[in-house]
């Protein structure tokens, strides 16, 4: 088993899993980075991955949406299943399936930054407009609502340089997880 630990859940829905990873393994040359990691996430779950630096946490997250192809194991989300060892998972025929999967899985990377040339609202709008092809007017209304939820509605027109500490972190999370 890998050194990555899956910590407790804060909430639990009685509905079925929206994301399932079964026996994910990843090898780089002679190094086994992930060995048999499984996870089930239900709607409303908050899950933490805990482990030392270099233990495979980020690799596991990258395998969940096939930014990194698992050596073996499978990932299922919303009725679509991807197998790391299956060459079809890597074919051009599955690009549509991968796009659908990636729309459902939000990720925060360790070095994520706000775009410096955009306002807070524009940063939050960027994903929905570019990836989901949401109309700008609709995306802006949702962005303003999300900023209000975290007490940042007064900063919707501010650029990145005006955010310090927690406010910037909250904005980053909402830009990715809306």
**pLDDT, tens digit (0-9, with 9 covering 90-100), for 115-148:** 778 888 998 898 888 878 899 999 999 999 888 8
What is residue 164's predicted lDDT score, i.e. its pLDDT?
53
pTM beyond 0.85, yes or no: no
Greatest mean pLDDT among 25-29, 51-55, 90-94, 104-108 lies in 25-29
> Dihedral sign, CA of 129, 112, 64, 26?
positive
Give the tens place of pLDDT for each residue, 13-29. 446 788 899 999 999 99
Contact indicator for 65, 24 with CB cutoff of 8 Å: no
CATH of 5-104, one of 2.20.130.10, 3.40.630.10, 3.40.50.300, 3.20.20.70: 3.40.50.300
- Using the predicted structure, report yes or no on whether residue 9 has a pLDDT greater than 50: no
Consecutive H or E run containing 104: helix 95-104
Q: Where are the domains of the chain?
A: 5-104, 120-177
The band of 76, judged by pLDDT with boundaries at 50, 70 and 90, is confident
Residue 176, pLDDT above cutoff 50: no
Quickly list DSSP for 137-167: HHHHHHHHHHHHHTT-GGGTT-BGGG--THH
In sequence order, the 6+-apart residues with CB closer than 8 A to the CB of 2 are 32, 33, 34, 35, 36, 37, 51, 55, 56, 60
From the number of C-beta atoms within 10 Å of its C-beta (0-12, 13-18, 19+), residue 64 rates as: buried
């Amino acid at each position: 088993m890998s050194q990555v630990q899956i910590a407790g859940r804060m909430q639990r829905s009685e509905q079925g899993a929206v994301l399932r990873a079964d026996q994910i393994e990843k090898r780089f040359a002679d190094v086994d980075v992930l060995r048999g990691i499984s996870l089930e996430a239900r709607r409303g779950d908050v899950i933490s991955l805990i482990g030392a630096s270099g233990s495979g946490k980020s690799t596991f997250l990258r395998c969940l949406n096939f930014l990194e192809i698992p050596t073996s194991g499978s990932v299922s989300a919303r009725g679509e299943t991807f197998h790391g060892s299956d060459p079809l998972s890597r074919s051009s025929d599955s690009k549509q399936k991968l796009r659908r999967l990636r729309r459902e899985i939000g990720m925060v990377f360790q070095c994520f930054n706000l775009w410096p040339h955009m306002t807070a609202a524009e940063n939050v709008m960027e994903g929905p407009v570019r990836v989901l092809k949401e109309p700008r007017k609709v995306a802006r209304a949702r962005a303003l609502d999300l900023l209000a939820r975290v007490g940042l509605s007064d900063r919707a027109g501010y650029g990145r340089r005006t955010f310090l500490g927690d406010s910037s972190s909250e904005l980053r999370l909402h830009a990715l997880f809306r």
